[in-house]
Amino acid sequence: MVRTTDRQTSVLRAIDWWTVAIYIALLIFGWVSVCGASYTYGDTDIFSLSTRSGMQIVWIGTSLFLGLVLLLLDDRFYDTFAYVIYAALLLLLFLTIFNPHEIKGSRSWLVLGPLRLQPAEFAKFATALAIAKLMGGYNFNIQRWKDFAAACGVVLLPMLFIIAQKETGSALVYLSFFLMFYREGMPGSILFTGVAMVIYFVVGIKFEHVTLFQTPTSMGVFIVLLLVQIFSSIMVRVYCRQKKAMWLMLSASLGVTSLFLLCSNYVIHFDIVWVQLSLALVMVGYLLYAWLRTRLNNYLFIAAFALGSLTFFYSADYVLNHVLEPHQRVRINVLLGLDEDLNGAGYNVHQSEIAIGSGGLQGKGFLNGTQTKLKFVPEQDTDFIFCTVGEEEGFFGSAGVLILFLLLILRLIHLAERQPFGFGRIYGYCVLSIFLFHVFINVGMVLGLTPVIGIPLPFFSYGGSSLWGFTFLLFIFLRIDAGRNLVHNHAL
């Protein structure tokens, strides 16, 4: 029998210290960035608790303490109480919906005296634990629709509660779990469908008001309907192994479309979108006929993909123009390049781009950034903190930070792949998916490449909730990985 003290000593020896070193390096660079972003000319003490840089030291210190506590807990605790932790956070998320305190239009914060906590940040690790518990079971098979629907339900439930708190950005983070689903065997067609929907939305909305040649046809709608037909034809080749049917569908689609396009351009002007819609519906009818004739369900799924694509595109257009609030619509238009609006929705991104560009290769130096010191960039120490890195540390510093995040992601992949049980592997991929989503969206947001949805950069953005939440995510996984080593060593 191993004594508790011996077990704790073994745990500390079994910890992956490379990951801990990367974590500490990110904390240090993060504090330097918070200090640079929040510093005001004339400040004499950056360590004072009255400043954001001083408070960030408190959050870092408490995060290190929480990390140590998480490491000293038995790794079986996380498996055993995964559902209990998930249920507790769900209850907290639900109660937060009725929170009377509204901060920047969001009800996602709980105010406990001087302390403000955001339950959505902690719900990420709770959801990851619940998903790992569910999918790590012996009878779970993601290829079964019933099991896959159950896993999706675990992810979507906290999303709905967070959306009800008017915190859409934090809710979108939960879509990162689908990367883990794909690693665990989710059909690639589902992931492809998600990518296709994004393409439909961007292309359709961006070119909606551009006419095609000399015809009254919308180029955006034309391209989307053509893509639906092309994608469906290729899926017949990939999933039904019918090369001849693919070429037949492509030839009919492109041939008829080209013929009517020439007619509309040179003979009589008319909107050929109706022709394309008819072609798409005929294609769906052909797929349903092939399904009835062969009883091969893949034909039915491709028909559902085509119909779903059409429904999504037209409903997305309706939601954008008739459901979304004006400021939300403007943000999307700015992102797609339809509006510039440098004084409104595009102001944050424009100022952050100026700050990053002014840093050059080597940066202006610690506390010497002019854009950030003069507070030109809103939320520059939280959501837009990466612009401080770019201005003060330059291209080299920004690249160094991104390399650190890349090393963390690669290390998490390595740790996840060496787990002997499904629970540890699935939780590990949940963690790296969340980190990857945050880094990609946040940095892309600052550079004007992704939507401004207001999510923090891990270990950099100011605040205790996000820092604690990311620490919980990472150190629970480190403890699970250390437990793997202990099981292996005791077995020997």
Q: pLDDT by residue (tens digit) across 350-359? A: 777 788 888 8
Instruction: Residue 228: name the closest of 164, 337, 311 by CA.
Output: 311
Task: Look at the pTM and tell me if it is higher than 0.85.
Answer: no
Instruction: Residue 170: name the closest of 111, 130, 124, 116 by CA.
Output: 124
Contact partners, residue 63, CB within 8 Å, separation at least 6: 27, 467, 468, 471
Residue type, 296: L
Q: Could you say which of 261, 289, 324 is where a domain stops?
A: 324
Give the percent of the chain with pLDDT over 90.
39
Residues 370, 377: Cα–Cα separation, whole Å = 11
Find the helix or strand (DSSP H, E) in which 374 lies. none
Residue 78: C-alpha distances to residues 82, 84, 488 (Å): 6, 10, 19
Please check whether residue 364 is in contact with residue 374, taking contact to mean a CB–CB distance below 8 angstroms.
no
Whether residue 213 is contained in a domain is answered as yes
Does the pLDDT at position 429 exceed 90?
yes
The two tokens of residue 320 are: 């954008």
Same domain? For 23 and 121 the reply is yes
Residue 360: C-alpha distances to residues 38, 379, 381 (Å): 21, 22, 20
Whether residue 5 is contained in a domain is answered as no
Same domain? For 292 and 158 the reply is no
Does the pLDDT at position 40 exceed 80?
no
Residues 321, 329: Cα–Cα separation, whole Å = 8
Whether residue 195 is contained in a domain is answered as no
Same domain? For 431 and 460 the reply is yes
Please check whether residue 446 is in contact with residue 355, taking contact to mean a CB–CB distance below 8 angstroms.
no
What per-residue confidence (pLDDT) applies to 188? 80
pLDDT band at 459 (very low <50, low <70, confident <90, very high): very high
Does the pLDDT at position 130 exceed 80?
yes
Sequence-separated contacts (24+) of 236-240 with Cβ below 8 Å: 236/287, 236/299, 236/302, 239/189, 239/298, 239/301, 239/302, 240/290, 240/296, 240/298, 240/299, 240/302
Does the pLDDT at position 49 exceed 50?
yes
What per-residue confidence (pLDDT) applies to 2? 42
Ranges 82-91, 97-106, 396-405: which has the least confidence: 97-106
Cα angle 233-276-339, degrees, rounded to a multiple of 5 = 100
Whether residue 203 is contained in a domain is answered as no
Residue type, 35: C
Does the pLDDT at position 5 exceed 80?
no
Average pLDDT of the chain to the nearest whole number: 84
Does the pLDDT at position 490 exceed 60?
no
Same domain? For 29 and 150 the reply is yes
For residue 145, the SS3 value is helix
Same domain? For 175 and 212 the reply is no
Residue 244: C-alpha distances to residues 233, 301, 306, 436 (Å): 10, 19, 19, 40
Does the pLDDT at position 9 exceed 80?
no
Does the pLDDT at position 341 exceed 60?
no
- Beta bridge partners, 115, equal 112
For residues 276 and 207, the model is more confident at: 276
Does the pLDDT at position 111 exceed 70?
yes
pLDDT band at 478 (very low <50, low <70, confident <90, very high): very high
- Rounded to 5 degrees, what are φ and ψ at 211? -85, 150
Same domain? For 309 and 344 the reply is no
What per-residue confidence (pLDDT) applies to 313? 85
Instruction: Residue 275: name the closest of 266, 264, 284, 286 by CA.
Output: 264
Same domain? For 29 and 161 the reply is yes
What per-residue confidence (pLDDT) applies to 284? 92
Residue type, 80: T
What per-residue confidence (pLDDT) applies to 217? 83
pLDDT band at 337 (very low <50, low <70, confident <90, very high): low
The two tokens of residue 23 are: 């974590």
The two tokens of residue 220 are: 């955006």
Please check whether residue 225 is in contact with residue 212, taking contact to mean a CB–CB distance below 8 angstroms.
no
What per-residue confidence (pLDDT) applies to 355? 80
pLDDT band at 181 (very low <50, low <70, confident <90, very high): very high
Please list the alpha-helical segments (H only) found in 319-382: 326-335, 347-359, 370-373
Average pLDDT for 289-300: 90
Instruction: Residue 203: name the closest of 183, 177, 228 by CA.
Output: 228
Does the pLDDT at position 405 exceed 90?
yes
Same domain? For 231 and 178 the reply is no
Whether residue 197 is contained in a domain is answered as no
Q: Could you say which of 324, 350, 384 is where a domain stops?
A: 324
- The top-scoring range by mean pLDDT among 46-50, 81-85, 328-332, 481-485 is 81-85
Same domain? For 303 and 367 the reply is no
Whether residue 192 is contained in a domain is answered as no
Same domain? For 377 and 298 the reply is no
pLDDT band at 211 (very low <50, low <70, confident <90, very high): confident
Same domain? For 154 and 235 the reply is no
Average pLDDT for 364-372: 75
What per-residue confidence (pLDDT) applies to 203? 82
What are the counts of helices (DSSP H) followed by strands (DSSP E) for the chain?
Answer: 20, 2
Average pLDDT for 396-417: 94
Characterize 416-443 residue by residue with b for buried, 16 or more Cβ atoms within 10 angstroms of its Cβ, and e for exposed: beebeebbbbbbbbbbbbbbbbbbebbb
What per-residue confidence (pLDDT) applies to 338? 56
Residues 126, 103: Cα–Cα separation, whole Å = 24
Average pLDDT for 8-22: 83
For residue 42, the SS3 value is coil
Domain count, the chain: 2
Does the pLDDT at position 327 exceed 90?
no
Does the pLDDT at position 492 exceed 70?
no
The boundaries of the domain holding residue 485 are: 16-33+40-185+340-489
Same domain? For 433 and 478 the reply is yes
Q: Could you say which of 275, 294, 324 is where a domain stops?
A: 324
What per-residue confidence (pLDDT) applies to 4? 47
